[in-house]
Structures are given as structure tokens and as C-alpha cells.
Structure 1
Amino acid sequence: MSDVAPFALFIGAAMSVTAFPVLARILTDRNMLRTEVGGLALASGAVDDVIAWTLLAGVVAIGAGGGDVPWQTLLAVPYTLLMFLVVRPLLRRLASARERAGRLTPSILAVMLVGLLLSCWVTEAIGVHAIFGAFLFGAVMPRAGGEALRHETLERLEQVSVLLLLPVFFVIAGLRVDLSTLDGRGLLDLALILAVAITGKFVGAYAGARLNRISPRRSGALATLMNTRGLTEIVILTVGVQLGILNDTLFSMMVVMALVTTVMAGPLLAVIYPNRLVEQDAAEQQRAALGVPQAYRVLAIVPPGAAAAPLVDLAAGVAARRDPAEVILSRVLPYPSARVEVGTGLSGDLVAMTASMAELAELAEPVRRAGPSAPVFARFSADPAAEMSAQVDATQPDVLVVTADQDGYQALRRDIGTSLVTVVAPLPATWAGVFVRASADADGEAAVRIGADLAAAHGVDLVVDAGGRPPRRLTYIVQELGNGVAFGSTAPPSALVVGTGEAAGTHLLVRARRDAPAKSGLPTAPPMPAPA
């Protein structure tokens, strides 16, 4: 009985584990991080991993003690408390030192490595495998302010771990795999292992998702994702061999199971949850996040850096006179060219995403105080133009505000039909007036209305240059807009210059909606009667 308990617990842990790094990479490569299924898979995978590793720690302690828990293993509890209550604050100070230095210095890296090795030594000494010391050291790393430290540490270590240690580990594990001795009984055992591993995780995850009223197809996608095991499984199996819980034959069959369940995830996911459903769910989730369905909506593609705040102020000014109004702040982040290949594979991406979301949330606060709702979105994309076009389709904005140097802008300008406001030059810090160079077409009318919105929002006058005698249509619009709007050919000092074509000194280019008139906002002037 003493041998059965460690074996049963170990097999349970090995069957239930989900390889979080593999899961995260699949979600990233398939752009599923922005869907409900992707979020649920990440959360479920994280919880699954914590429970499985905790269970494995107990199995290791029991196995090392020959079926009984040795007394020194009880020290794991105070050691865990020590790590969270003492070591974690120290690591937070280490993260602050990295922030002050602006980079990961050799001395900070040395402290990290010493702490990691000491944690491994302590857990090994108290009868828990050294791998749990490393796991615990990573778990106590502070999240707030510590992501940059984690990511840079992984970047430094991946040169050795990925190029040297990981191949050596795979070679050693692979040399243990020997399927040549499997007879008919062994093949039957392998089939049973595969059946239990696949159906156990799939049915459990699927049933849990369906009980929470997730659709059958999305439940199937979640169950498929939870079946990935990968490198994490092989690490656990290696621990089992070291403890004598698994023999070489069973180890070989379990490795095959890990490989099969990981390899099958991609093709099965493509059938159950194809890319068209991923894009559809992402669009639905984005629409669900919008505050007021019938609001006058301005979508602002916010660039990083100093240009962000002026562009958000511009977008808020366009929506200021509408009620209800909504200003959507969005940022499209290109995938980094260099990715960390160890850990979750998402550390650097999460740093960039967290920083962008925090910046957008800060920029949205003044907009919300002024009245409009201001949801924020940040997305990674290998094709910025396609991502921005998808956002336009999902949100259906009345006006899109974007900078001319945004990645994919030219394709976006060509493909979308909504009203477009393009920032072509740095905006003035303060506006003493708004000057519109208006053409005698729909673009000119749109430019005048955008200029009027911005002038009203900043409490300045609007001057419209119609290039000589203004068309009757523009005359009617200027009269409609009321006080503070006049025709003229000279821009006020420190004016925001709005135009419909390239010209020196122009800050904004305006293009009218190509498909349909705006849903709301200032009333559209009726058509002028034909001249007698």
C-alpha cells in the first residue's frame, strides 16, 4: 500500500498537468489571447499548474520517505512563509534597483542566481525536489514592477538554457525512451494511457465549460487547449524516474503520451475553433466592452510616446459636443522581433501590454471626467493594418483618429469607409484658434465640422478658408455653426490647421465617411434649393 499511494498520486499529477508555456505560445500564435476562450484557457492553465505542482511536491515527499512523510519535509511550510514574507519584499527592492539602473546589471543578476540556487538547495535538503525551490523562487517574484526584471533575467539565461541545457535534457530524456521492447500487452497499455490522458482532461474541461454555459464549440476549444502537456510533462516524468516511481517502460509510454497530446492540440484546434471564429469572438468581445451602443463614437489609434496625449485630447475634442459620446483609445503593438523562448514565452509581451494598458487608462481618465465614456484596448498584431481594420469593423466608429506614421496606415486609409482624421504634423501645445482649409466637396464639409468641434472644445474661434468665393453648401454650414465661425484666408497665430489635402503647415487631414452619413452629432444641413 505504501508503494501504491505515491504511484497513484504521481500518475494523477502527471495526467492532469497542462504545459503553461506551450498553452501560452499556442494562444499567442493563433491570436486567441483577446478572446474569452483564450483568457479562460490561461486562467485554467495557471490554476491547473499550481495544483499539479503542489500535488507533485507532496508525491515527492512521500516517495522520498518510502511512503511516509519524513519530519524534515514539514519544514516546507515555514520555508514557504519565509519566501513570501521575507524574500519577496527583498526581491521587490531588487526590482526597484533594476529600475534605478535602467537595466539588469551583473550584480543584480548574480543576486538572482544565488537566491535561485539557495532556494533549490533548501528544498532538496528538506526532502522536496530542487525543482520546487526554483518554482517557489519564481512564484515569489513581485508582479508589480517585477516583470521587467523577470523578462531580462530570462533573456540573459536563455542563451545557456535554450542552446545548451535544454538540448542536453532532451537527449538524456530521449535516451531513456525505448519502445522496442513493447509487445502486444505494452501497446494495449499505451493505448489505455492515451485514452485516459486525453479523455480525462478533455471531458473534465469540456464539462466544466458547459456547466458555465460556454457554447459547445468553445468548450471543445478550451478542452483541447487544456490537453497540451509538452516540456512540463517530461520534467515531471523525469522526477518520477529519479524517485523510482516509474520504470523505463512506463516512462517511455508516458513520454509518448505527452508528445501525442501536445502535437494533436494544433490540428484539432484548427478544426474545432478555426481562425474565422477567433476573429468573430474577438470582435464580439470588443463590441461587448463598448459602453453606450448608440453613442457618437470616436476611435483613436494612440501611438506610444509624447504624441499620445495630444492625440487623445484631439479625439476627445471631436466627441465633446455629442451626447451620448464614446472615445475608444486603442493601441496596436507589433510583436517583438526577439522573443524569450523559456518560461511562459509571454513575459516581454506582458510587460509591453501592461505598460500600454496602464498608459491608456491614465489617458482615458480626463476624457471620462469630461463626460464621454472611454474604453481602452491594446492588441498585439503581426499585421497592424488588418488589426485596425478589424477594430473599425467591430466598433463602427463615426470618426477614426490616427497618425500618418502608424504602421499599416496607408492600407487602412485605402480600405476603411469611416470618417478619417489623420495627424500629419505634431499638434500645437495650445490652440489660439482653428483654421480649416476646406475643399468644395464632402471632405471639405467634414473638415469644417471637425474644426468646429475642436474649436468649441477649446473655446477658440474657427476660421474657414474656402479658396475664394465659398460654395453655398459651406456658407450654409458656417451659418449653421453660429458664433465664432467665419470665412477668412489667414490662419490665427498658433492655430490648429485642418485641411483636406497636403499643404504646408497642415496638422490634420480630414476625409469624409465613404459609405454612409454619420449616425449622430450635429444635424446635417438640408440640401440647398437649385438656383432659379
Structure 2
Amino acid sequence: MTAHQLGQLLLALAGVITLARLLGAAARRLGQPPVIGEILAGVLVGPTLFGTLISDRLFPVDIRTALAGLANVGLVLFMFIVGYDLDFDSVKGRRKAAVSVSIGSVLLPLGLGVLLALWLARHHDVADVAPFALFIGAAMSVTAFPVLARILTDRGMLRTEVGGLALASGAVDDVIAWTLLAGVVAIGAGGGDVPWQTLLAVPYALVMFLLVRPQLRRLVEARTRAGRLTPGILAVMLVGLLLSCWCTEAIGVHAIFGAFVFGAIMPRAGGELLRHETLERLEQVSVLLLLPVFFVIAGLRVDLSTLDSTGLLDLALILVVAITGKFAGAYLGARLNRIPARRAGALAALMNTRGLTEIVILTVGVQLGILDDTLFSLMVVMALVTTVMAGPLLSLIYPKSLVARDIAELERAALGVPDAYRVLAVVPAGASARPMVDLATAVAARHDPAEVVLSRIVPFPAARVEVGAGLSGDLLAMTAAMKELADLAEPVRRQGPSAAVFARFSADPAADILAQADTTRADVVFVAAGQEGLAALRASLVTVLAPPPDGWDTVLVRADGDDGEAVLRLGAAIAATQGAELIVDAGARPGRRLAAAVRELGGTVLGPAVPPAALVIGTVAAADAHLVVRAAHPAVRDDRDARVPTTTPA
């Protein structure tokens, strides 16, 4: 490569990265996966809109070989990410339904695709119809698992029944479709006959799953010892990946299948941190540089400027077959398992996503000479349309209200005692978690039956893998939250109340706290300081401004104001459970009802002075309070008081 060519290559890469980031950000603003904008960036530099005006200047012919090499490396990394992102745990407990949905979403589009290929072959100079027909059918059958998972994550559907089944079905679909496509590619590479080298795919698969996979567990152990993903661990991983790609390329099944298999056999159990750190590290190279180059190389082949009436008819047929075949196949597969119609429709909409996965498949078809440039262009349009429509179609079939209902049903099912006096503690991360849980337990322990619900509102990770499913970071955050809550729940159960643990991803914590309080029918809700937007809360609200002082033996209640009686009763419950003295500051002129409540609860009325080692509980006006209490929302009356009478201290 000459100095001039090197300069052209560097300039081209700068332009590619800039265009991909700009259009990817624009797609995200429109509620679409960033990959949609990046694919469009590749199409824009192609001949569709500007002919060769941009492409010949920004991507001269003499640097396109170098660009193609970078694009192929990007493909390998992407397929490794796809394989590593597959969540096989999601299939557990859903195997029958997931297999049924997957088979339906593969077989019907495959059959329709083969029939469509017979039509397309007539006027696209197809020399060998059999591999062409099988390739078109396989291309119609693939679901983009990363796009599917990203849609579920963004809509908060990962933990719902629909989300779990969609993930399971997508994982099974990917395995079936990629296995089918590998066979089609082998036939296409052999000119319609299966070459003898392809038979080596069986021993290759056995070696990878039976010998290599157990050895990869050592990478998890090495990462645990080092405490991070070291360059050495990553180097071993990349060498294994490249060798796997070389093996599949040598046996005539294309390098991308070796990358997918190597990702699929990477360890999951106990390897969550390794998985997340690996995908984050590879994203820096793959998303920012190599995949945008792949989009450009693909985009240079897309030319819709010469589309005539025949081409428009072909495009219409391709879209009809792609959309109806995938949707109807998945829907029927779901209905055969007695999945309700609305949920079956949501699954069908999700299985119709194709995204970058489809572009990868089509590129392989071009490289093998199975597709011409015209058909490639039409199929790229199909990939874009089906991916863009997935999100809006899902919103139409399964709106947010139904998602919220599903989450509420899951949380209600997790409650141990239906009619218990219930304290919901929205537990923060860190050292302040245990004091809040102890105080919530003290309030609940004065009632029988009683339950403490420990909840964690998990914000979506600020940095998320863009090209993959994004599951690694999300699942890691959720797993860590659930483990911490489970550890906090054990001491609660030892003190008498039952305990349940919930965790939610949230972009609006206040709205989710309100929804969770309604779902659990909470009587009291504990939150950390700084949480706003809870004015409509129906339960009593306790805000923990600061942890109690060490060794506290007194509860000082500042019971003035409209919420004075609620403050008093909560303070009395805590004092009785902890064996502490209850002291009441009832203000300058306490009302008769409050004074009677103080006598009833055995409190001692003092002035405003704070005793040493006191837990201070007050209303909003109490500046020195550790806890601030607001009574239950006055506009809402329910049967809680009749259902669970307040227990006074003994």
C-alpha cells in the first residue's frame, strides 16, 4: 500500500465512523435501534442516491480491498458477539413453547421463501436454482436475536412471560436458522453439490462442544483470580475465535459460522463478569470501526436507482413473504401451545426483526455468487423494513399498559402472604441498605401476618453494548441486585415477617415505585432521601434521611403537624420492637386526639430537646429527623385498617 493509498484509507475510515455515529444517534432518537441508522449510512454512500459521486471519491477502488478485509474481521467479531449473547438459560422451563414458536417461525418462511425463489430465479439469471431457493428460504427464516433482545430491554419486558418466551424462542430460532444456513452455504459453495470437506463439520462440532467448551471454563477461573479481564485472557479468547473461524472456512462453511459457534460455547454459569467485560471490550473495536466499514461495503452494492416495475413487484413479494411468513409461523406456533392471542401476536412481531443479522447473511450470499446486486438491494430493503416495523407493531399489539400488568402479576405472585400487613422498602445500594431494612422490619414485626417486600429500582446501564443484545450488562446488574436483596431478606425472616424480593429496570423510578406499592398493596413504603414524585402514593411514606445513630436506645418522635399521629404510631412500633424508650415532642399545643394517642402508646411527652443516641422521627418540618413520615394518601380509602388492625406496644 502506497503512502497515498494509506492516506485515502485513513480519510475513508474517518468519514465512515462520523457518518455511522451521526445516523445511529438519529435512529435512536426516533426510537429505532442504532444499527438501522448505520445500515442507512452504508446505503447513502452507495449509488442509490448519488451514483458514484461520493463512493468513488471517498472510497476509491484501490482501497476497497483493504476495506473489505476490515469488514470481514468486523463480521467475525459480530458473529462471536451474537453467539456469546445467546441466553440459553431463558429456554429453561419454556422448551416446548420456545421450540414450537421457533419451528413455526422457521418452517413457514422457509417454505414460502423457496416458492418465492422459484419466481425470482426466472428473471435474475440464476444458474443453479436449488441452492438459490434454499438460500432465499433460509434468509427469510432468521431472527436478529440482538435486536429482539434490545427491544425487550428498552420496553422493560425481559422479566415478563412474553419477554422470557421471546428470548427463548429467539435463541432456539438462531441455532436452527444458522445451522440450516450453514448447510445451504456449503451447498452453494460446492456449486450445488455437498463437497467432501463439509462432512468434517460433524467432528468439528463434536470437538468444539465436547473438548473445547470444558476448557474454556478456565477463562472464568483466570478472570476471577485476576479480578478483571486481562489482555492475556482476551488474547486467548481471540486466538480461539480465529482458529474456529479458520476451521469452518477450511471445511467450506464460511468463517462466520465458526465465530458463532465459538461464542455459543463460551461459559455462561459463573462467567457473567467475563461475558460483560468481553463484549464491552470488543464493542470498542467492532462497533466504532469495523462494522461501519462493513455497512459501507454492503451499501456500495445497494442500488435502487434503476428499480423498474418488475423490481417493485419483486420487492413487494419479498416483503409480503418475509413479513407474513415469519409472523404467521410464530403466531401459529404460539397458539398451538395455547398462548393467548395477544401474547402470540407480540411474539410474532418480535420474531420478525432481522437487522444486521440479515445483512450478514445477504453478504455471504453475494460472496458465494448466489445473489446478484439487484436481489441483494431488494433484500436489504426488506431487512430494514421488517426491523423498523417491529417496535411500532409491538406497541400496537402489546402496549405499555399490558407490560405493566404482566410485571404486576409477576410481583403479586411472588408475595408470600396475600392479606399480610405489608411494608415495602425501596432499598438503595451500599451501606445504607441494612439500616433501612432493619427499620422496615421493626415496623412490620408488630403485625401478624406481616411481610417485608425488599425492592431495588435498577437504572438502565449508562454504557450499553450497541451491536449486541445488551443483555450482559443488564443481566449482570439485575443478578447483583437480586443477590443483595436475597441476603438482606434472610435476617427479616428470622425476626418473624415473611420477605419477598423484587427488582425492576426503570427509566422512571417514581412511577415504578407507585406501581409497585399498588401492586403489593403496601401499607408503608420506605424510600431513601432524594426520591421525588411520590405525591400520589396511597400508603404511608417513610423517607430515610440518614441512618440511625450507633447504639440508639431512644425513639424521639416529633409529632406536630397533620401527620403527627402517623409519625407517632410508626415511632411506637419501632420502639416496641427494638425495646427502646419512646419520647414524644407533641409541639406547643398538642391536640386532644394526639395527646390520647401518646397516652395509649405509652410515650413520654418531653420538650424539643434531643436525647443522646436517639432515633429521631418527624414530619417534613423536622429538620433533625432521621426518618420523615407522611400519612397515607387521604383521597384513597381501602380496607387495610379493617383487614390488619394496628398493634400497639405491649
Pairwise TM-score range, normalised by the shorter structure? 0.7 to 0.9
Counterpart code for 1:36: E
Q: What does residue range 67-106 of structure 1 map to in structure 2 within 5 Å? A: 67-106=192-231
Q: In 2, distance between residues paired with 1:55 and 1:251? A: 20
Pair 47,365 (structure 1): closer, same or farther in 2 beyond 3 Å? farther
Of residues 2-11 and 166-175 in structure 1, the stretch that sits farther from structure 2 once superposed is 2-11
* Secondary structure of the structure 1 residue equivalent to 2:369: coil
- Deviation per CA, 1:105-134, whole angstroms, max 9, x where unpaired? 322222222222122112222332211221
* Secondary structure of the structure 2 residue equivalent to 1:375: strand
* Secondary structure of the structure 2 residue equivalent to 1:425: coil
Higher relative contact order (CA 8 A, sep 6+): 2
CA contact (8 A) 2:557 2:582 kept: no
- Deviation per CA, 1:53-86, whole angstroms, max 9, x where unpaired? 1222222233334444444434434433433444
How many angstroms does 1:233 deviate by? 0.8
* Secondary structure of the structure 2 residue equivalent to 1:411: coil
Pair 5,454 (structure 1): closer, same or farther in 2 beyond 3 Å? farther
* Secondary structure of the structure 2 residue equivalent to 1:305: coil
1:427: which partner in 2?
A: 548
Q: In 2, distance between residues paired with 1:75 and 1:470? A: 88
1:108: which partner in 2?
A: 233
How many angstroms does 1:13 deviate by? 2.3
1:265: which partner in 2?
A: 390
Counterpart code for 1:410: E
Q: Percent identity?
A: 75
Which of 171, 175, 188 in structure 1 is aligned with 2:300? 175
Which of 141, 150, 159 in structure 1 is aligned with 2:266? 141
2:631: which partner in 1?
A: 512
- Deviation per CA, 1:327-367, whole angstroms, max 9, x where unpaired? 22111122232222122123222211121122222222333
- Deviation per CA, 1:370-428, whole angstroms, max 9, x where unpaired? 443323222222222222222223333100001104xxx1222x332320111111234
The answer on 1:228 being equivalent to 2:353 is yes
* Secondary structure of the structure 1 residue equivalent to 2:458: strand
How many angstroms does 1:171 deviate by? 1.6
Q: In 2, distance between residues paired with 1:77 and 1:365? A: 49
Pair 365,209 (structure 1): closer, same or farther in 2 beyond 3 Å? farther
Q: In 2, distance between residues paired with 1:7 and 1:454? A: 74
CA contact (8 A) 1:154 1:342 kept: no
1:339: which partner in 2?
A: 464
CA contact (8 A) 1:230 1:258 kept: yes
Which of 433, 452, 464 in structure 1 is aligned with 2:584? 464
Which of 449, 453, 457 in structure 1 is aligned with 2:573? 453
How many angstroms does 1:41 deviate by? 2.0
Q: In 2, distance between residues paired with 1:201 and 1:249? A: 23
Of residues 5-14 and 52-61 in structure 1, the stretch that sits farther from structure 2 once superposed is 5-14
Q: In 2, distance between residues paired with 1:219 and 1:184? A: 36
* Secondary structure of the structure 1 residue equivalent to 2:468: coil
2:424: which partner in 1?
A: 299
Which of 106, 127, 141 in structure 2 is aligned with 1:16? 141
Of residues 36-45 and 165-174 in structure 1, the stretch that sits farther from structure 2 once superposed is 36-45
2:172: which partner in 1?
A: 47
Q: In 1, distance between residues paired with 2:577 and 2:130? A: 72
Q: What does residue range 95-494 of structure 1 map to in structure 2 within 5 Å? A: 95-180=220-305, 182-405=307-530, 409-412=531-534, 414-428=535-549, 430-431=551-552, 433-440=553-560, 443-467=563-587, 471-481=591-601, 486-488=604-606, 494=613
CA contact (8 A) 1:299 1:327 kept: yes
Q: In 1, distance between residues paired with 2:231 and 2:540? A: 52
- Deviation per CA, 1:141-198, whole angstroms, max 9, x where unpaired? 2223323222222322223222221122112212222345554444333222221111
TM-score, normalised by the number of residues in structure 1: 0.87
How many angstroms does 1:240 deviate by? 2.1
* Secondary structure of the structure 1 residue equivalent to 2:424: strand
How many angstroms does 1:247 deviate by? 3.0
CA contact (8 A) 1:425 1:508 kept: yes
TM-score, normalised by the number of residues in structure 2: 0.73
Q: In 1, distance between residues paired with 2:592 and 2:313? A: 86
Which of 617, 629, 637 in structure 2 is aligned with 1:498? 617
CA contact (8 A) 1:96 1:145 kept: no
Of residues 191-200 and 82-91 in structure 1, the stretch that sits farther from structure 2 once superposed is 82-91
- Deviation per CA, 1:229-284, whole angstroms, max 9, x where unpaired? 11001111212222333333332222222111112223323333333433344334
What is the aligned-residue RMSD (CA, Å)?
A: 3.0
Of residues 341-350 and 212-221 in structure 1, the stretch that sits farther from structure 2 once superposed is 212-221
Structure 2: where are the runs of 5+ without partners? Answer: 1-117, 119-126
Structure 1: where are the runs of 5+ without partners? Answer: 526-532
* Secondary structure of the structure 2 residue equivalent to 1:374: strand
CA contact (8 A) 1:440 1:471 kept: no
CA contact (8 A) 1:357 1:376 kept: yes
CA contact (8 A) 1:438 1:500 kept: yes
Counterpart code for 1:452: A
* Secondary structure of the structure 2 residue equivalent to 1:410: coil
Aligned length: 518
CA contact (8 A) 1:436 1:447 kept: no
Pair 439,480 (structure 1): closer, same or farther in 2 beyond 3 Å? closer
* Secondary structure of the structure 2 residue equivalent to 1:415: coil
Of residues 85-94 and 189-198 in structure 1, the stretch that sits farther from structure 2 once superposed is 85-94
Q: In 2, distance between residues paired with 1:69 and 1:362? A: 56
* Secondary structure of the structure 2 residue equivalent to 1:128: coil
